[in-house]
């Protein structure tokens, strides 16, 4: 498996882009990630003007011809979620009207994904609604990373490539030499994700935290299923939002005798009061996330480690452009 840990400037790019019609356009939600992906591919992002009118409406203009090009729009739909999503759809429309040959929405973090089914009456399935909006705006295909649930791929009636941040996280964890580890799912719903992660970590043992959620963003940990005493526990989840789930899980693991606790997640949503919870003394050895969502300076704390997924996304973009296999990246 290729190492995707860091985005390094290639002096002699491995990609033959002399006559390529591949174009990258980065939105405003994570421009640094867009720059790193462009660096990996050895090209420059297409200039984009994005501004706001006095009443809050968004204006987008592509500053270079993309006629007949294979355009990849890089835009995680992170906070402010509505603005990020609307800007992405406006970018799609601008590309469509500029006669782009194919438009791929590269969405490292897919917002509105948590409401992926009805759990009670009179609820909206916003994951499906968002997929419909993107399709109607003119997106030809989607490249997403670590969707909240894999079934969201089926909400699109266009091709959807789904990649995983786990290779980046596992490469880093392997470099730490942690010894005897146990992979822990913070809830029953994340067991499949944790099992796949444990398999990649040389078939590490698996433990599960059985919890009961009383309301949105509020969770109550009950018990640990599995042996964690004297081991290094790795809590794995797709995202860390307020930090309630992962922190209550870490506290329980400490009580059960875990020697060290690491938290791993692909998406650092980090809504308040996540900073206070995650930076608590003697709780986590490290909190490891990717840069699918930008982490602002006031969200950094001593235990936080942010890994880049730019190389992995860049590789996937190149393979889509060349019409070769994306899934073989993870074999």
Whether residue 174 is predicted with pLDDT greater than 80 in this model: the reply is yes
- Tell me what pLDDT residue 20 has: 84
The percentage of residues in the chain with a pLDDT greater than 90, rounded to a whole number, is: 87
Beta bridge pairs of residue 22: 70
Torsion of the alpha carbons at 241, 146, 35 and 27, rounded to the nearest 10 = -70
* Among 63, 26, 28, 62, CA closest to 41: 26
Could you tell me the pLDDT band of residue 197, with boundaries at 50, 70 and 90? very high
Q: pTM of the full predicted structure?
A: 0.92
Give Cα 21 to chain centroid, integer Å: 26
Whether residue 210 is predicted with pLDDT greater than 50 in this model: the reply is yes
- Tell me what pLDDT residue 221 has: 46
Beta bridge pairs of residue 104: 72, 141
Domain boundaries of the chain, sorted by first residue: 22-164+310-330, 166-307
Give the CATH number of domain 166-307.
3.40.50.2020
What is the rounded average pLDDT for all residues in the chain? 92
- Tell me what pLDDT residue 330 has: 87
Whether residue 215 is predicted with pLDDT greater than 80 in this model: the reply is no
Q: Kindly state the tokens that stand for 147.
A: 């969707």
| Active site (catalytic) residues | 211
Whether residue 277 is predicted with pLDDT greater than 80 in this model: the reply is yes
Judged on CB neighbours under 10 Å (0-12, 13-18, 19+), 20 is middle
Query: Sign of torsion, CA 168 319 107 58?
Result: positive
Between 3.40.50.300, 3.30.70.1290, 3.40.50.2020, 3.30.2020.30, what CATH number should domain 22-164+310-330 receive?
A: 3.40.50.2020
- Tell me what pLDDT residue 218 has: 62
- Tell me what pLDDT residue 5 has: 47
Q: Choose the weakest-confidence range: 15-29, 59-73, 242-256, 292-306.
A: 15-29
Whether residue 107 is predicted with pLDDT greater than 80 in this model: the reply is yes
Could you tell me the pLDDT band of residue 219, with boundaries at 50, 70 and 90? low
Domains 22-164+310-330 and 166-307 belong to one CATH topology: yes
- Tell me what pLDDT residue 12 has: 45
Place of tokens 């809504």: 271
Q: Kindly state the tokens that stand for 210.
A: 């059985």
- Tell me what pLDDT residue 189 has: 87
Average the pLDDT over 85-109 and give the result: 98
Measure the CA angle with vertex 43, ends 65 and 293; round to 5°. Answer: 95
């Amino acid at each position: 498996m290729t190492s995707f840990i860091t985005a390094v400037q290639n002096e002699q790019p491995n990609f033959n882009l002399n006559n390529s019609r591949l174009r990258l356009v980065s939105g405003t939600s994570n421009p640094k990630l867009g720059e790193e992906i462009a660096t990996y591919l050895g090209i420059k992002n297409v200039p984009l003007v994005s501004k706001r009118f006095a009443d809050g409406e968004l204006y987008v203009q592509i500053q270079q011809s993309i006629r007949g090009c294979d355009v990849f729009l890089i835009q995680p739909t992170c906070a402010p979620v509505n603005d990020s999503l609307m800007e992405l759809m406006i970018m799609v429309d601008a590309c469509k009207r500029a006669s782009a040959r194919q438009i791929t929405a590269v969405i490292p973090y897919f917002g509105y994904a948590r409401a992926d089914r009805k759990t009670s009456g009179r609820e909206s399935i916003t994951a499906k609604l968002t997929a419909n909006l993107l399709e109607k705006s003119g997106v030809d295909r989607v490249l997403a990373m670590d969707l909240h649930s894999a079934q969201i791929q089926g909400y699109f009636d266009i091709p959807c490539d789904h990649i995983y941040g786990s290779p980046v996280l596992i490469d880093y964890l392997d470099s730490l030499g942690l010894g005897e580890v146990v992979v822990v799912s913070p809830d029953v719903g994340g067991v499949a994700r944790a099992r796949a992660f444990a398999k990649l970590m040389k078939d590490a043992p698996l433990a599960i935290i059985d919890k009961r959620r009383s309301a949105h963003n509020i969770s109550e940990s009950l018990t640990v299923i599995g042996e964690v005493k004297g081991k290094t526990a790795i809590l794995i989840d797709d995202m860390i939002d307020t930090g309630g789930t992962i922190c209550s899980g870490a506290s329980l693991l400490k009580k059960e005798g875990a020697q060290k606790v690491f938290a791993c997640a692909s998406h650092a949503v980090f809504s308040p009061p996540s900073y206070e919870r995650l930076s608590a003394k003697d709780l986590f050895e490290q909190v490891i996330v990717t840069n699918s969502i930008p982490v602002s300076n006031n969200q950094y704390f001593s235990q936080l480690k942010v890994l880049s997924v730019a190389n992995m996304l860049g590789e996937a973009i190149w393979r889509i452009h060349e019409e070769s296999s994306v899934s073989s990246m993870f074999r």
